[in-house]
Amino acid sequence: MIKVASAVVLCAFVSASLAAPSALAASPPTVDKIVAKYVAARGGLTKIRSVQSLRQKGHVTAGPNQEGVVMRELKRPAHTRFELKVQGVTAVFVSDGKQGWRVNPFDGDAERKPLSDEVVAEAAEQGDFEGPLVDWKAKGHKVELAGQEDLAGRPAYKLKVTLASGGVRYDYIDVKSMNLVRTETTRQVRGRPVQIQATFGDFKKTDGLLFPHFVEVAAAGRPNTLRIDVESVEVNPELSDARFAMPASAQKPLP
């Protein structure tokens, strides 16, 4: 009799266990819940909002014998400054999110030139260093859960983010850590649309906020990848507006 009762209990337990995953699969978390957990994993909304400026330094590898030192400075509302140093030569790219300029000695003339509209748009996205998921409703974006996928053997929520600008990107949030581990965007490169995938890893905290220290960028169907190893992160460094202003010596219109 005891054996029969045990068998019934065991059957009930097994049935419940088998039913549980399908019950979970039937009710995926809402976008709001996923985003809330992602924000919490980064350090929380208060911390994220307290960031007024950011400086990150690292190393970039674009392929064999293609290495450089990178430095990125961001300041609210949408200022960005990106420096690339290769073989001792430093090129500078600056944008306020609406327009931008560059001094790129690699192209030989060392004089300020305007950034193209496509590059300014790319800079503007980085200027929102909270990322589009934080306060997405207030920013006018639309976020939908587009399913769940395995990334390197780990499940991730796939979020479709339709930006207020009209662009669409996909953000992947690791189910276990709730970190943003991948983004997919489509950019116009040499006049053609190219799907670009950025994978993030090696997450570490600075001043209570989580930052990826490894970024790998790949383009669809291309074997080559770009790798960035972030070596230092400074939260709220002193960044004067002059770092982002159009150089005084170059206020005159470009020829």
Partner 1 sequence: MKKLFPILVLFVPGVLFADEVYLKDAGSISGRVVEQDETTVKVDIGGGFISVPAARVERIEKGRTALDEYEERAAKLGPKDVEGWKTLARWASKQGYSAQAREACQKVLAIAPDDADARKALGFVSLDGKWVTLEESYRAKGYVKYDGEWMTPAEAQAAQAADASDRAKRNAEYRANAEQNAAVQEQARAEKRAEQEQYEKEKAEQLNPPVYWGGWGYGASSWPTMGTDGFWSDK
Q: Which of residues 99-128 bind partner 1 (CB under 8 A)?
A: 101-112, 115, 119, 122-123, 125-126
Closest approach of Cβ 224 to partner 1, in Å? 6
Query: For residues 159 and 157, what is the distance between their CA atoms, to the nearest angstrom?
Result: 6
The tally of CA atoms less than 13 A away on the side-chain side of residue 105 is 9
3-state secondary structure of 163: coil
Residue 171 near residue 133 (C-beta atoms within 8 A): yes
Question: Does residue 250 touch partner 1 according to CB under 8 A?
Answer: yes
Give yes or no for residue 166 binding partner 1 (CB under 8 A). Answer: no
Of the two residues 45 and 115, which places its CB atom closer to partner 1 in the complex?
115
**Is 253 a residue that touches partner 1 (CB under 8 A)?**
no
Q: Could you list the beta-strand ranges (E) of 78-224.
A: 79-86, 89-95, 100-103, 113-114, 142-151, 154-162, 168-174, 180-189, 192-206, 209-219
- Tell me the two tokens of residue 25: 């699969």
Query: Within positions 182 to 211, which residues make up the interface with partner 1, using CB under 8 A?
Result: 183, 185, 187, 189-194, 196-198
Q: How far is the CB of 119 from partner 1 (least distance, A)?
A: 6
Cα R_g (the chain), whole angstroms: 23
Token representation of residue 253 = 């219109």
Q: Under the criterion CB under 8 A, does residue 219 sit at the interface with partner 1?
A: yes
> Binding segment for partner 1 among 2-10, 41-49, 146-154, 245-253 (CB under 8 A)?
245-253
Q: Does 87 bind partner 1 (CB under 8 A)?
A: yes
Q: Judged by CB under 8 A, which of 34, 54, 55, 93 binds partner 1?
A: 93
According to the binding rule CB under 8 A, does residue 3 interact with partner 1? no
